Amino acid sequence: MDFPLDRERLSRTFITLCEIDSPARSEGKLAQHILSYFKNFSALEFFEDDSTFSTGSDTGNIIIRFPGTKPERDPVFFNCHLDVISPCIGVKVNRDDSDTFFSTGETVLGADDKAGIAILIEVLLTTLENNLDYAPVELLFTTCEEIGLLGAKAFSPSSLKAYYGYALDSTGIDNVITGAPAANYIIAEIHGQASHAGLNPNNGISAIQLASKAISRLPLGQLDDQSTANIGLISGGTATNIIPDFVKLKGEIRSHSVAKLHRHIDHFKSIFSDTINSWHDPGYRLDSHPAFSFQSPEQYPLMSLPDDSDVLQLARLAGHNLSRSLHFGKAGGGSDANFFNHKGLPTAILGIGMDHVHSNSEQIKLSDMQRTAELILSIITI
């Protein structure tokens, strides 16, 4: 099958999207611009949900619904997130001689996830302009992904007609992500006793010292073949001459096994409990004791697609029609797809070629974007 994709239009669209500021909670301008690409086509439906009440964004999640010309086909949705991780204000895009895009300034590029958005726009424009036969399609653009998957978390599956789909939000090319870990935050607060470090050192209990003892006992990094853990934020203390009476630690544990995830959480809590409860300082003069609190709220749920699911079989067929071997596997990070799968919408994640994401060195090749667009077009026109 001949795919009449317009490479230069894809390039222009991508650059334009990247240079529209869209940090989390300020995605409205980008959402309206995306809608403008389809304003001249009739019979399309546009829908904005009420997720702003949960996310605080200036727009809800956006759905653009295309009726398709193959009524026998099940509808399918494609997802990208609208927000970009900081620093993302004032992005300027450069395209070098190898058709690689990167940021010219001290910002990220925004290929995560605007490359996916540009790909979807080009695929649907190509489909409509060339009167190609295609399945019913829904484009779902979510908000606040980079600050906790908030748009996807607030999204109601009843807003879609499709019951399965694809999220364009991963590195690599021809990659299909079938599983991603569940993750919980780790939040520990340690309370000691403040005192002047020079005048009354024996009247203080150092929360920092207790925290360091607990952290030194925590298993961090790769916990087992399915699980990882990290402590990423520590805050506390008021001055160099004051024994700190409070420290807050924040981290995470993630695992492809929910049972292992909860075992690791319980182990972390027991280490904090044992560290605080075993505290003893023979020189301490007061009658108070240290205390702690421990929380482990969910960050995102487990994603795990069965090998025979419709969404994976369709991807295989689309790859076969392109004479491509797709790579199926699991990822170490979470995405909107975690919540979609949890809500009963089987969703695979597609690699779109972006590289060095979440850094000022982020880049993507036009050839990889085109290759992904060809796969999407194959999926909807089979």
pLDDT score, position 4:
84
pLDDT score, position 117:
98
What CATH number does the domain containing 176 carry?
Answer: 3.40.630.10
Say whether both 62 and 177 belong to one domain.
Answer: yes
Contact predicate 139/75, CB 8 Å? no
Quote the CA–CA distance of 8 and 373 in Å, as a whole number: 13
Q: What is the pLDDT of residues 247-286, one digit of tens each?
A: 999 999 999 999 999 999 999 999 999 999 999 998 888 8
CA 49 to chain centre: 20
85 closest CA partner among 30, 22, 33, 159: 22
Element at 151 (helix H, strand E): helix 150-154
Active site residue 145: yes
pLDDT score, position 2:
63
Say whether both 118 and 266 belong to one domain.
Answer: no
Active site residue 129: no
Domain end, chosen from 255, 270, 299, is at 299
* Close Cβ partners of 50 (under 8 Å, ≥ 6 residues apart): 60
Q: What is the pTM of this model?
A: 0.93
SS3 state of residue 214: helix
Residues of the chain falling short of pLDDT 70: 1-3
For residue 113, say if its preceding peptide bond is cis, omega within 30 degrees of 0.
yes
Quote the CA–CA distance of 224 and 314 in Å, as a whole number: 33
**Catalytic site residue from 83, 112, 169, 245:** 83
Contact predicate 275/213, CB 8 Å? yes
Element at 368 (helix H, strand E): helix 366-381
Say whether both 91 and 144 belong to one domain.
Answer: yes
141 closest CA partner among 158, 129, 127, 155: 155
pLDDT score, position 283:
87
pLDDT score, position 285:
87
Quote the CA–CA distance of 122 and 199 in Å, as a whole number: 70
pLDDT score, position 233:
97
Say whether both 171 and 186 belong to one domain.
Answer: no
Do the domain assignments include residue 322? yes
Say whether both 223 and 342 belong to one domain.
Answer: no
pLDDT score, position 1:
53
Say whether both 36 and 149 belong to one domain.
Answer: yes
**Catalytic site residue from 27, 112, 122, 145:** 145
Do the domain assignments include residue 71? yes
Say whether both 290 and 318 belong to one domain.
Answer: no
60 closest CA partner among 75, 49, 44: 49
Say whether both 123 and 248 belong to one domain.
Answer: no
Say whether both 88 and 123 belong to one domain.
Answer: yes
- Domain range for 218: 182-299
